[in-house]
Amino acid sequence: MIDSDGGQLGIVTLDKARRVAEERGLDLVEVAGNADPPVCRIMDFHKYRYEQKKRTQETKKKSVASAMKEVKIRSRTEAHDIEFKKGHILRFLQKGHRVKISVFFKGREITRPDLGRNTLDKMLESIAEYATPEGDPRMEGRHMSVVVVPVKN
């Protein structure tokens, strides 16, 4: 049995352990039930649960949720429109999001995936100082896409 301040009280019977915990106005909590003999601790269980909940909230607060954003362009998109989409991508990257850049093909454009690849390569080249691709661009049906993540300073 372990005391509320961390000191060991030794091996005691279950009745005596319950009595000691009740006298102190605390709870008897089984810590390691598989040990021989089982280990119990005297503690304020509600206070323990409250502190545990606060710790998990604190870690959630510190973690940054990284959402996946997607920007779609066509294989024959004009330069001005690509620059416009580049602004969206940079804004998403500054907020710490991952960005999926998709080039989609309409109709017979699918027969010329090299045009889409060139458009995607130009986009990746223009944002190279802000983002790194997570892999090579790959075809997914009528879409060629790549995921980029912000560069860590």
Read off the CATH number of the domain in which 123 is found: 3.30.110.10
Mean pLDDT of 93-101: 91
How many domains is the chain partitioned into structurally? 2
Q: Flag whether 107 is in a domain.
A: yes
Mean pLDDT of 112-123: 91
Tell me the pairing of strands 138-140 and 131-133: unpaired
**Sequence-distant (≥ 6) Cβ neighbours of residue 105 within 8 angstroms:** 74, 75, 112, 113, 116, 142, 143, 144
Query: Where does a domain end: 24, 41, 61?
Result: 61
> Residue 52's domain spans which residues?
14-61
Q: How confident is the model at residue 65 (pLDDT cuts 50, 70, 90)?
A: low
The answer to whether residue 43 scores a pLDDT higher than 80 is yes
